[in-house]
A and B are shown apart, each in its own frame.
Chain A
Amino acid sequence: MRAAQLLELNRAEQALAELSRLPAALATDVAAFRLRAAALSDLDRWAEVATVARQGLAETGPDAELLGRLGLALRHLDEYAPAERALLDGLAVEPQNPWLLCQYADLCSAVGQTDKAERLVARAAALAPEAPPVFASRFQLAYARGDDRAAERVAREFLGAWPGHPVALALHGAAAAQRGRVDAAHRSFGQAVAHDPTDADYADAAWESRVYTHPLLLPLRPLYRLGILRTWLIAVGVIVLLNLAGLDLLAGLFGLAWLLFCVWSWVAPPLVRRLVRGRWRA
């Protein structure tokens, strides 16, 4: 079907247009409902995804993929208990579907049930270790646990298995940004946009990462790499040591430099954001 190819090429709008021109006999086929729900998910139109999925389920009977789409849409609409119901109904049809297991794992990560999410991801990984949704779910789980190193490792594995996959690139960028590697983050988000120019989230992330690669923010890079606490401890440690060594003038100068650095770290990012993006808030 042409719509499936268009969706493959990230032309979700055109795929929807193609689907709307289908003859009535084909339009109520389960494949048409699946494609329509997939295209609407690509466009983040979650309320419509839920409507289409429910319509498809009513007309064609239980279908694992449509139940998964319904669960995904309901998660984005903040209806977590109904989303779980839909995903469990889908898993009752196809208990060995890795994509559905990953959807359920993502839902569990998002409500903080990380142990259950881990078991679900492990099961999905046993079925399809190299599938993109499995990598994405492992990343989300590591992020939800606050384990940024593990998230970065998953993103690297994902990129190794699927070089050029926009989701892999975007996750790699997000992990790099979280760890303070601003150049790597900017490169990855830029490539993600190049591979999927229609996705608004990637474009936004690429712009935001460009803010942090600006030369005016060059002095702040150690702060982003080390984190606030470690940078602060190092600075205070140096000041105290200089004082103890009797180098009061040097300690005073270093203290002044540290004060300027702090002020710069608060003032500069909003200023540069305005320079780069032309507005104050991201």
Chain B
Amino acid sequence: MADDLFTPTIAPAAYEARRPPWRPQSLLFPAVFGGPTAVTVLALVNAARLGLPGRARLAVAGAGIAALAARVAVTLTVFSGSADRPVRLIGALAGALVWLVVSVTQKGRFRAYELRGGEPASLWLPGIAAVLLLGVAEALLIVLLAAA
């Protein structure tokens, strides 16, 4: 019986051991606390660890850049008149939007990794570092742009 279901499709080299990925759902925390830059950088590292194709990485990078631009634009234009601009809240929402793209592109690959018996890596230290470094850098950028 000629049957394409019974032809091998698993390449030997495709599933070699990489560094364990983070749980994509956990990336919501750096997204909310750090903003779009933090979650985009972490998600791109995670995409490499999961061995995702280029399309999925481009989607995350594109969403990250778009969310950062949107955050800056909304903060500077829509709320330009008011004294206490909800800078943090807009940043958190922009990060959450990037996370939605991350969740859609990385959840399936991470589930397969779990089915192969893999354990997620801890996001605590990298997450806090990303929030402190990238989150603060992003906030500084917005402060500078607002002052200019």
The interface of chain A, by Cβ under 8 A from chain B, is 76, 78, 80-81, 83-85, 88, 91-92, 95, 106-114, 116, 119-120, 123, 140, 143-146, 228-229, 232-233, 236, 240
Contacts and interface: CB of A to CB of B under 8 A. Distances in A.
A111 B14 contact: yes
Contact of B15 (A78, A116, A146, A232): A78
Contact of A112 (B8, B11, B32, B108): B108
Contact of B11 (A81, A83, A108, A145): A81
Contacts of A232: 28, 32, 96
B111 A95 contact: no
8 contacts: A78-B116, A84-B8, A88-B6, A110-B112, A110-B116, A113-B10, A229-B28, A229-B96
A88 B3 CA distance: 11
A140 B11 CA distance: 21
Nearest to A82: B12
A111 B28 contact: no
Interface in B70-106: 89, 92, 96, 99-100
Given A144-B115, A228-B25, A80 B10 contact: yes
B90 to A, nearest CB: 11
Contacts of A143: 111, 115
Contacts of B111: 143-146
B118 to A, nearest CB: 9
B89 A236 contact: yes
Nearest to B116: A110
Nearest to B14: A111
A81 B8 contact: yes
Contacts of B32: 232
Contacts of B54: none
A81 B116 contact: no
A88 B112 CA distance: 21
Contacts of B96: 229, 232-233
Contact of A111 (B15, B25, B107): B15
Nearest to A145: B108
A240 B89 contact: yes
A92 B6 contact: yes
Given A76-B117, A228-B25, A120 B5 contact: yes
A107 B25 CA distance: 24
Interface in B95-148: 96, 99-100, 107-109, 111-112, 115-117
Contacts of B107: 146
Nearest to A123: B5
Contacts of B7: 88
A154 to B, nearest CB: 15
A146 B9 CA distance: 22
A80 B12 CA distance: 7
